[in-house]
């Protein structure tokens, strides 16, 4: 599927505008001693309505913590998170329910958030109930519509998680997120646990849903191939800092930062052409796979 390139917004306000974001966690430094460790350091980026922004980096780079901060699941030590003109950084637990509805998440392991004793359809109807939407019958109807939207059927509503495949469970998670008609969905390693065939199906599904609804995505992953396929722009995180950002094709074709070059060099490719590109990049930049660790 062709990906529409969205140029960064200038005249119009972005949907999400993250500026100088800092997130710090309390750590123990010894007996009765505590200190703060900053894991996200002055990160800034924005996402336009209907855009997919990819956030990539190694494990420990701070990409998931950034997502958690936007979801208001991690305390913010500094900076701002502006959502449609409102700074939500300082709201904490007072974050309004309307924001919880507008910003949804899809995680790597959908089964972890599903009650094994409940039918999966209840996860969707409970989400609607939590936000005061409809009565029992209308919620059931809306859940079915949402299931059909992601390629599931009425029969799936009454199945238990153990009766469904990983790809089907991820579709349930997407249905639960989109049934609330959010404006932004944070996909945190949403396809990394799936096999390649199912990955492709879920990615194409997300792109189709975006085309139909105009929803924005923050796509957090370590998989550069997935990012290249789904994202219009990409930010590269290293040890909590955004070291490079750009339009996807430009960043992949001409990476400027040595860490981005190392990530691309180390990234596997499933095609001969892709492997040739990696080999040429390695020779051109003289960046070997071990330098990825050295750069950290």
Q: Is 246 in the same domain as 287?
A: no
Q: Is 146 in the same domain as 286?
A: no
Q: What is the mean pLDDT of residues 23-48?
A: 84
Contact 224, 253 (CB under 8 A): no
Q: Is 224 in the same domain as 267?
A: no
Q: Is 97 in the same domain as 37?
A: yes
Q: How many domains does the chain have?
A: 2
Instruction: Assign 78 a pLDDT band (cuts: 50, 70, 90).
Output: very high
Residue 173, in any domain of the structure: yes
Higher pLDDT, 50 or 270: 50
In terms of Cβ atoms closer than 10 Å to its own Cβ (0-12, 13-18, 19+), residue 131 is: middle
Q: Is 168 in the same domain as 279?
A: no
Q: Is 157 in the same domain as 52?
A: yes
Q: Is 226 in the same domain as 259?
A: no
Q: Is 152 in the same domain as 296?
A: no
Question: What are 278-289's pLDDT values in tens digits?
Answer: 555 455 444 444
Instruction: Assign 17 a pLDDT band (cuts: 50, 70, 90).
Output: very high
Q: What pLDDT shows up at residue 29?
A: 62
**Is it the case that residue 9 has pLDDT exceeding 50?**
no
Instruction: Assign 272 a pLDDT band (cuts: 50, 70, 90).
Output: very low
Give percent above pLDDT 90 in the chain: 68
**Is it the case that residue 296 has pLDDT exceeding 50?**
no
Q: Is 20 in the same domain as 164?
A: yes
Residue 1, in any domain of the structure: no
Residue 3, in any domain of the structure: no
Q: What pLDDT shows up at residue 26?
A: 82
Indicate the pTM of the whole model. Answer: 0.84
Q: Is 225 in the same domain as 278?
A: no
Residue 11, in any domain of the structure: no
Can you tell me the distance from the alpha carbon of 19 to that of 120, in angstroms, rounded to the nearest whole number?
Answer: 38
The average confidence (pLDDT) of the chain is 85
In terms of Cβ atoms closer than 10 Å to its own Cβ (0-12, 13-18, 19+), residue 208 is: middle
Q: Is 84 in the same domain as 230?
A: yes
Residue 5, in any domain of the structure: no
**Is it the case that residue 244 has pLDDT exceeding 80?**
yes
Q: What pLDDT shows up at residue 32?
A: 63
Q: What pLDDT shows up at residue 35?
A: 77
Contact 174, 104 (CB under 8 A): no
User: Which value, to the nearest 10 degrees, does the dihedral of the CA atoms of residues 241, 244, 246, 249 take?
Assistant: -120
Q: What is the mean pLDDT of residues 8-16?
A: 67
Q: What is the mean pLDDT of residues 207-215?
A: 94
Residue 26, in any domain of the structure: yes
Can you tell me the distance from the alpha carbon of 200 to that of 160, in angstroms, rounded to the nearest whole number?
Answer: 24
> Which residues, other chains included, contact 142 with Cβ-Cβ below 8 Å and sequence gap of 6+?
124, 125, 128, 133, 134, 179
Residue 8, in any domain of the structure: no
User: Which residue segment(s) compose the domain that 278 sits in?
Assistant: 255-296
Q: Is 225 in the same domain as 277?
A: no
For residue 236, the cross-strand partners are 56, 244
Q: What pLDDT shows up at residue 25?
A: 87
């Amino acid at each position: 599927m062709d990906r529409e390139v969205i140029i960064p917004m200038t005249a119009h306000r972005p949907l999400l505008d993250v500026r100088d974001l800092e997130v710090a966690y309390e750590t123990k430094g010894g007996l009765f001693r505590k200190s703060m460790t900053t894991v996200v350091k002055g990160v800034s980026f924005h996402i336009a309505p209907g855009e997919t922004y990819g956030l990539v980096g190694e494990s420990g780079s701070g990409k998931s913590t950034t997502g958690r901060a936007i979801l208001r699941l991690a305390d913010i030590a500094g900076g701002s998170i502006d959502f449609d003109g409102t700074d939500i950084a300082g709201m904490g637990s007072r974050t309004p329910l309307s924001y919880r509805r507008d910003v949804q998440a899809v995680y790597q392991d959908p089964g972890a958030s599903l009650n094994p004793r409940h039918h999966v359809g209840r996860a969707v109807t409970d989400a609607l109930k939590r936000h005061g939407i409809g009565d029992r019958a209308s919620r059931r109807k809306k859940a079915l519509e949402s299931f059909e939207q992601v390629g599931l059927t009425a029969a799936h509503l009454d199945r238990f998680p153990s009766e469904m495949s990983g790809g089907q469970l991820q579709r349930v998670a997407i249905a639960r997120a989109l049934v609330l008609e959010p404006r932004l969905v944070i996909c945190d390693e949403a396809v990394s646990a799936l096999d390649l065939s199912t990955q492709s199906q879920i990615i194409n599904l997300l792109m189709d849903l975006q085309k139909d609804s105009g929803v924005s995505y923050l796509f957090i992953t370590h998989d550069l191939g997935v990012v290249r396929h789904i994202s219009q722009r990409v930010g590269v995180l290293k040890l909590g800092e955004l070291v490079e950002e750009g339009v996807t094709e430009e960043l992949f074709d001409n990476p400027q930062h040595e860490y981005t070059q190392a990530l691309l060099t180390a990234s596997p490719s499933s095609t001969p052409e892709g492997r040739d590109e990696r080999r040429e990049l390695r020779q051109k930049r003289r960046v070997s796979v071990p330098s990825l660790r050295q750069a950290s």
